[in-house]
Structure 1
Amino acid sequence: MFVESVGRWVAWGILLQVGLGVSAGSCPPRCSCRLETKEVICSGKHLNSIPEGFPGDAKHVDLSYNKIRTVGRRQFSGLHELQDLDLSDNMISMIEVEAFQGLQNLRTLRIKNNRLKILPVGVFSGLSGLRFLDLSQNEILVFLDYTFRETVNLQTLDAEENDLVFISQRAFFGLQSLQELNINRSNLTSIPTEALSQLQSLTYLRMLRLTVSTLPNNAFRRLHRLRTLILANWPSLDTVAGNSLIGLNLTALVISSCNLSAVPYSALRHLSYLRFLDLSYNPITVIQGHLLRDLLRLQELHLAGGNLLRIVPGAFKGLASLRMLNLTSNQLTTLEESTLHSVGNLQVLRLDGNPLSCDCRLLWVVRRRLRLNFDGRQPTCSSPDTVRQREFRDFSEKELPRVFTCRPARILDRRPQEARVEDGTTVLFSCKADGDPAPSVTWISSHRNVVSPAGRIRVLPNGTLEVRFAQVHDSGTYQCLAGNAAGNDSITVGLYVKGGSRNRTIPFFTEEDWLEPPIPQATNSSAQLAKPYPFDAKTLIIATTMGFLSFLSSVAICFIFMFFWSQSKGQIKHTATIDFVPRSSMGGGGDGGDGGRFTMKLI
């Protein structure tokens, strides 16, 4: 059959060349026809409309790069064997309903880079065999209900770079076979959740350059077959709800070039099948410890181009399958071995583009420099000055113990500190430490709890312990721990608080002292005590105002009570008539005297 078909096309070509029995419409004017592949090439021929005279058995028609403005109804009727139609890069602003009717064998339709603003319902009527549809780079504003109803076998829909402001809830109705959807650079301000829920066979979803600020809960419900989700270049996205990705069985997730200030741990904890995670180019500053342990199958983690300052020890604990960690172009000064505890299968580590401090904390990386893959980009030292700009591969094994060193933490002032005070007094205990790298200072309270930087008992930024308005139950010993990668040091201080009289005035502090009390100079006393202050003007004004408001409230309540009480007594009479008998002027008993009457009026 194939040989016979080729023979017929060859014979048709020969007849065309010699001008024997060939109809003038066998190949459209200004187009070229390739007999062996059954292609009609009309690309870049300055056509203003779709030509006529296509061969009836043509399988591929290319009308791209012309000036076509309209596609009429049943424009391609008769091309029952057509499989590929390209209308890209024209000026098409109108496609009539049933424009492609009769093309039941069409597999690929490209209408890229035209001027379409709306797609009438029924425009894709008859395309039951369509597999790929490219509508990118148009001006489409909305996808109406049932727009794609008859494209039941469509597998890929590319709708990138349109002006979409709305996708109707049933716009994707009928796309039960769609596997890939691309939406890029649209004006959508929310996730079209209801519309997407129609795509229950979707495996790949890419949404780029949207103006969405929040990823809400259940944003992608019913997409149980979705495996790859790409959300990139959303500059307003700063919130990812904890259940936004629930129900998904993703293997690849990209949320990059957004405005996330922290890793969305809650949203990620459901994704136990995830293998690829990219959170690059977000203003994330810290990776917390032990919060990614649910990603048991994760193999690649990308956190490039962020604001990472610190990775807490144990941050990647439990990621036993991790093969690649990309931390390039952040603000990291080190990467301690404890952060990658239990990640023994790591093969690729990207640390380039960070201001790395080459001390003992990075010694474990340098020692693996020959077998650890840096993906062709060697990390470089930023400090100390003696090795600035040197790449890890340049160090010899001999100089490693000499260069990559640390100085253990040491508390400078180890003199005993003990305070015996009455309750209500504020006490300060000093704990200054030195070391390389700079040690961290931690205070342990008398109840064996870590003291936080906030609260009545707190640690100040300079490492000083502050106990404000000391109470009896604050008594006990407090321990200061200073530590770095090279070692630890500690001291113990004592606080003993005696209960005072009940009418004792508790001192008030000025606003500046409340926020950051000054540290007194060292004296011969066993502890540093902050002097109490008397009431200031602000305190008196506040107290007076509160008292005055309380007085007015009491008066108002009394008036309201009197008003309702008087209403309950019924109508009040405003006049009264009084009868009386005047006493005799001679002092008699008044027998037979005339009485009198007068009326009183209540004003």
Structure 2
Amino acid sequence: MFVESVVRWGAWSLLLQYGLGVAAGGCPSRCVCRLEAKEVICSGKHLNSVPESFSSDAKRLDLSYNKLKTVGRRQFFGMQQLQELDLSDNLISMIEVEAFQGLQNLRTLRLKNNRLKIIPVGVFSGLSSLRFLDLSQNEILVFLDYTFKEMVNLQTLEAGENDLVFISQRAFFGLQNLQELNLDRSNLSSIPTEALSQLQGLTRLRMLHLTISTLPNNAFRKLHRLHSLLIKNWPLLDYLASNSLIGLNLTSLVISNCNLSAVPYAALRHLVYLRFLDLSYNPITVIQGSLLGDLLRLQELHLAGGSLLRIEPGAFRGLAYFRMLNVTSNHLTTLEESAFHSVGNLQVLRLDGNPLACDCRLLWVVRRRLRLNFDGYQPTCASPDAVRQREFRDFSEKELPRLFTCRPARILDRRPQEARVEEGTTVLFSCKADGDPFPSITWISSHKNVVSPTGRIRVLPNGTLEVRFAQVQDSGTYQCLAGNAAGNDSLTVGLYVKGVPRNRTIPFFSEEGWTEPSNPPAANTSAQMAKPYPFDAKTLIIATTMGFLSFLSSVAICFVFMFFWSQSKGQIKHTATIDFVPRSSMGGGGGDGADGGRFTMKLI
């Protein structure tokens, strides 16, 4: 019995000493102290000020979700072992200079969701070991020069959801090891290029929900280590300068939910290391052929939720590592196999949400439906009626040749077209074709060049070739090529232009007067002139005569005006008498006439 009492008394003594030790170790009231983890948890305790007497060996201090308004100078000076400090979700509007002095081992500092408007220089003094700093969801207006100058080991800076309007050029001075910077939801109106150029170790930059309208040239200069750039929800961004991304070695680029109406090919051509590209939710209508070939390492392209109408053949030519295409929720009716460098490398394809026309152009996709990964979203046919609303996985191999068909392109009018015209005439050659899908029309000139929709020799929207103001060198054969996925058809026409003598008048017709004559060989002719000016000899003579008469009339009017003006001045004296004294000769001699002289001058 005695022994049992002694044991109980010793146990209670030990517990009492342990409790006193905890109290002496510095656990403030209303806080929870975890000695093994060396944590002090004061979160959500309605504290109005920072408690005192913290344990000097604590490694984590949580003061979040309180009512703290200020952080005083050297507020945590005795906590040399502290590694994580959380001051989030308070009412802090002021932090004094050297507030964190003495926390030389601090790795993480959270100041999220407070009321900070400005951070004085020196606030972060002494935080040479800090790795993570969260300043998001405050009211900060500006980052001043040298704000972070002593944080040489900082790796991540969260500065989003502030009222930032300006970042000083040297605000990020000293952050040579910063790897990740987030500048979301601020009031910046332009890229802070000079400030960002201080972050030469930056690898990831995120900027969401900004009102910047353009990326200028050299916007991210000196950021040679930047691998990931995330630009999202910039509703005003509609232009990227051709050298805006120059100097970057990006592997991932996201420019989504912006206002780009075309793929920024010129800006992208510098990104030879790019593997991931996301241009989703932009009003882009077409991916042109052979313009992404500089992105040799590109593996994934996302262009979901846009306005895509077509992906041209050769759009991904040269992209040997291309394995994923996401074009869901666009306006595509088809995707031809010729768009890819090699469909054998394609692994993931998102075509759902498009009005797909299930014909021979999509046969290559349906035949790979078991090998391709549709990411859980099966493409669905929108036309023709026989297959409407059917998913690709529903088709059997037997019915594919019967349902996924096309009708080859065929030129409708194959009658010979030959025009023999004089220099200066306008010629029209017709080329109408039919097919399913509807064929495209291409004209090849007599010099073996593709004719464009603009210029003196051009292709009209209906496929007609127009040669305006025909010249001798335009003579030759022109070829019309009508083609679709099922086949091609061609038609050759001839144009022979006869030069006219230089002294012969060449008629000139205005564009409103161009008409199509009824004679078949000349049915394609209109008017143009060979000389560099559209005037004939008669016009020049009339113009010269009118100008000469105008000149004579002006001179006559001037003379009449001068006559009446002189008459109105009264009597005018027309002579003047002048007395003069001649200069004496060099020899000193003189004569009778040397004393003077007089003569009369008549004024005209």
Instruction: Output the TM-score relative to the length of structure 1.
Output: 0.83
| Corresponding residue for residue 507 of structure 1 | 508
Superposed displacement of residue 57, structure 1: 2.4
Letter of the 1:504 partner, please give it: T
Letter of the 1:291 partner, please give it: L
Change (3 A) 1:577 1:136: same
For the 8 Å contact 2:469–2:527, the answer to whether it is kept is no
Corresponding position: 1:52 with 2:52: yes
| Corresponding residue for residue 466 of structure 2 | 466
Q: Distance in 2 between matches of 1:283 and 1:126?
A: 49
| Corresponding residue for residue 522 of structure 2 | 527
Of 454-463 and 422-431, deviating more is 422-431
Superposed displacement of residue 456, structure 1: 1.9
| Corresponding residue for residue 170 of structure 1 | 170
Corresponding position: 1:281 with 2:277: no
For the 8 Å contact 1:141–1:166, the answer to whether it is kept is yes
| Corresponding residue for residue 337 of structure 2 | 337
Superposed displacement of residue 301, structure 1: 1.7
| Secondary structure, counterpart of 2:183 in structure 1 | strand
Of 458-467 and 48-57, deviating more is 48-57
Q: Distance in 2 between matches of 1:345 and 1:269?
A: 22
| Corresponding residue for residue 80 of structure 1 | 80
Superposed displacement of residue 296, structure 1: 2.5
For the 8 Å contact 2:515–2:526, the answer to whether it is kept is no
Change (3 A) 1:250 1:345: same
Change (3 A) 1:338 1:159: same
| Corresponding residue for residue 261 of structure 1 | 261
Superposed displacement of residue 247, structure 1: 2.5
| Secondary structure, counterpart of 2:339 in structure 1 | helix
Matches within 5 A, 1:47-446: 47-446=47-446
| Secondary structure, counterpart of 1:477 in structure 2 | strand
| Secondary structure, counterpart of 1:254 in structure 2 | strand
Q: Distance in 2 between matches of 1:167 and 1:340?
A: 44
Write out per-residue CA displacement over residues 448-507 of structure 1, whole angstroms, 9 at most, x where no aligned residue: 222221222221111112222223332332222111111111222222333345332422
| Corresponding residue for residue 585 of structure 1 | none
Q: Distance in 2 between matches of 1:282 and 1:89?
A: 36
| Corresponding residue for residue 577 of structure 1 | 576
| Corresponding residue for residue 16 of structure 2 | 15
| Secondary structure, counterpart of 1:40 in structure 2 | strand
Q: Distance in 1 between matches of 2:471 and 2:209?
A: 57
For the 8 Å contact 1:233–1:256, the answer to whether it is kept is yes
Q: Distance in 2 between matches of 1:269 and 1:421?
A: 46
Q: Distance in 1 between matches of 2:378 and 2:84?
A: 48
Change (3 A) 1:597 1:135: same
Of 368-377 and 47-56, deviating more is 47-56
Superposed displacement of residue 268, structure 1: 2.5
Of 127-136 and 187-196, deviating more is 187-196
Superposed displacement of residue 376, structure 1: 0.6
Write out per-residue CA displacement over residues 373-397 of structure 1, whole angstroms, 9 at most, x where no aligned residue: 0111111111112211111111111
Change (3 A) 1:312 1:549: farther
Letter of the 1:506 partner, please give it: P
For the 8 Å contact 2:429–2:524, the answer to whether it is kept is no
Write out per-residue CA displacement over residues 512-531 of structure 1, whole angstroms, 9 at most, x where no aligned residue: x5xxx5656xx563331566
For the 8 Å contact 1:59–1:83, the answer to whether it is kept is yes
Change (3 A) 1:161 1:105: same
For the 8 Å contact 1:313–1:336, the answer to whether it is kept is yes
| Secondary structure, counterpart of 2:434 in structure 1 | strand
| Corresponding residue for residue 488 of structure 1 | 488
| Secondary structure, counterpart of 2:345 in structure 1 | coil
Change (3 A) 1:320 1:11: farther
Superposed displacement of residue 267, structure 1: 2.8
Letter of the 1:526 partner, please give it: P
Write out per-residue CA displacement over residues 340-381 of structure 1, whole angstroms, 9 at most, x where no aligned residue: 133522111111111111110110000000011011111111
Write out per-residue CA displacement over residues 294-338 of structure 1, whole angstroms, 9 at most, x where no aligned residue: 323222221222222222222212222222111112221111111
Change (3 A) 1:477 1:460: same
Write out per-residue CA displacement over residues 61-99 of structure 1, whole angstroms, 9 at most, x where no aligned residue: 211112211111111221222111111111111111011
| Corresponding residue for residue 448 of structure 2 | 448
| Secondary structure, counterpart of 2:520 in structure 1 | coil
| Secondary structure, counterpart of 1:409 in structure 2 | strand
Superposed displacement of residue 598, structure 1: 9.8
Superposed displacement of residue 240, structure 1: 2.1
Write out per-residue CA displacement over residues 8-67 of structure 1, whole angstroms, 9 at most, x where no aligned residue: xx999943897x577589332322222332222222222222222323322222111122
| Secondary structure, counterpart of 2:442 in structure 1 | strand
Q: Distance in 1 between matches of 2:472 and 2:323?
A: 55
Q: Distance in 2 between matches of 1:100 and 1:451?
A: 71
| Corresponding residue for residue 5 of structure 1 | none
Letter of the 2:254 partner, please give it: V
Superposed displacement of residue 544, structure 1: 8.0
For the 8 Å contact 2:148–2:173, the answer to whether it is kept is yes
| Corresponding residue for residue 6 of structure 2 | none
Superposed displacement of residue 142, structure 1: 0.9
For the 8 Å contact 2:427–2:527, the answer to whether it is kept is no
Of 114-123 and 265-274, deviating more is 265-274
For the 8 Å contact 2:274–2:297, the answer to whether it is kept is yes
Q: Distance in 2 between matches of 1:498 and 1:403?
A: 53
For the 8 Å contact 1:317–1:343, the answer to whether it is kept is no
Q: Distance in 1 between matches of 2:519 and 2:107?
A: 91
| Secondary structure, counterpart of 1:344 in structure 2 | helix
Q: Distance in 2 between matches of 1:382 and 1:136?
A: 47
| Secondary structure, counterpart of 2:362 in structure 1 | helix
For the 8 Å contact 2:334–2:356, the answer to whether it is kept is yes
Q: Distance in 2 between matches of 1:141 and 1:337?
A: 52
Write out per-residue CA displacement over residues 417-445 of structure 1, whole angstroms, 9 at most, x where no aligned residue: 22223222222221111100000111222
Change (3 A) 1:146 1:38: same
| Corresponding residue for residue 27 of structure 2 | 27
Q: Distance in 1 between matches of 2:315 and 2:294?
A: 12
Change (3 A) 1:12 1:216: farther
For the 8 Å contact 2:421–2:525, the answer to whether it is kept is no
Q: Distance in 2 between matches of 1:16 and 1:134?
A: 40
For the 8 Å contact 2:337–2:343, the answer to whether it is kept is no
Q: Distance in 2 between matches of 1:252 and 1:66?
A: 40
| Secondary structure, counterpart of 1:526 in structure 2 | helix
Write out per-residue CA displacement over residues 193-214 of structure 1, whole angstroms, 9 at most, x where no aligned residue: 2222222221111122222222
Q: Distance in 1 between matches of 2:14 and 2:197?
A: 52
Write out per-residue CA displacement over residues 168-224 of structure 1, whole angstroms, 9 at most, x where no aligned residue: 111111112211111111121222222222222211111222222222232222222
Instruction: Output the TM-score relative to the length of structure 2.
Output: 0.83
Letter of the 2:522 partner, please give it: A
Change (3 A) 1:327 1:578: same
